[in-house]
Amino acid sequence: MPAAMIGERTYRTKEARRKAVSTLLDRYDFNAVVDREEDDLLLRDLVAMHPKAAEKIGPGVDHFRVIMTPRGGYKGPEAVHTDGRHVPFSYKDCLAPPTHEQRVVAAMRTEVKPQRDAYLTEREKAGTLVSDETGLPLEAAGAHVSYFRGRGFHDLATEFVAEAGRSETIDLNTDTSLGLAMFADRKLAARWHAFHQERAVLALLTATESLRRPRD
């Protein structure tokens, strides 16, 4: 297991991960737009790790800026939403250990990854690998399975957890072949699989379209 991650990026230590973000911010002057693609992508994965990610991402992030933090006068990231709103966020909050609730939601995403992968495979076999938003053609490797046509993933996950009890009552097992947390109670996992299969409305987007939307 990697010591620390941001999205799919792995770092040997948590300090190395923190340093990667700090170095990114230092590349830009105050109030500068983050214009390097690799930096933009890292910040998109980073803000998704924030405890209040839905609030920080809002209707979708158009781009990021580096600003002076409200406290201390240090460099920090700011998300500029697609509706023009500016929302600063703490990268230290993003790198803090996830709450149990966050870990449960991440496990739920892992649990239904085979369903999302199967959807992509079905679209590829059917010859319909195009963006459902713009009609742009897609390559399987660059296609992103999205929930934008129906209820978002977090809405589905929240409803299921409410039916199951509370997230605090859901035990996770990290000793899996995937190396990722999954439900320890496999009967509960099967219920979640069925719930997701019945209610999720999946669609395809390009990588850019997916990145600019609110996190599913």
The pair of three-digit structure tokens given for residue 199, joined into one six-digit string:
């209610």
Supply the pLDDT for residue 130. 96
The pair of three-digit structure tokens given for residue 195, joined into one six-digit string:
């719930």
* pLDDT tens digits for range 143-189: 999 999 989 898 999 999 998 887 788 999 876 555 578 999 999 99
* pLDDT tens digits for range 23-72: 999 999 999 999 998 999 899 999 989 989 889 998 889 999 999 997 77
Report the SS3 class of residue 167: helix
pTM, 2 dp:
0.77
> Is the CB of residue 196 less than 8 Å from the CB of residue 147?
no
**Domain residue limits, the chain:** 4-95, 100-212
> Distance (Å, rounded) from C-alpha 124 to C-alpha 137?
11
- The matching CATH number, chosen from 3.30.930.10, 3.40.50.20, 3.10.450.40, 3.30.1600.10, for 4-95 is 3.10.450.40
> Is the CB of residue 108 less than 8 Å from the CB of residue 157?
yes
* pLDDT tens digits for range 113-141: 999 999 999 999 999 999 999 999 999 98
Among candidate residues 44, 56, 35, the one with its CA nearest the CA of residue 6: 44
Burial class (CB in 10 A: 0-12, 13-18, 19+), 154: middle
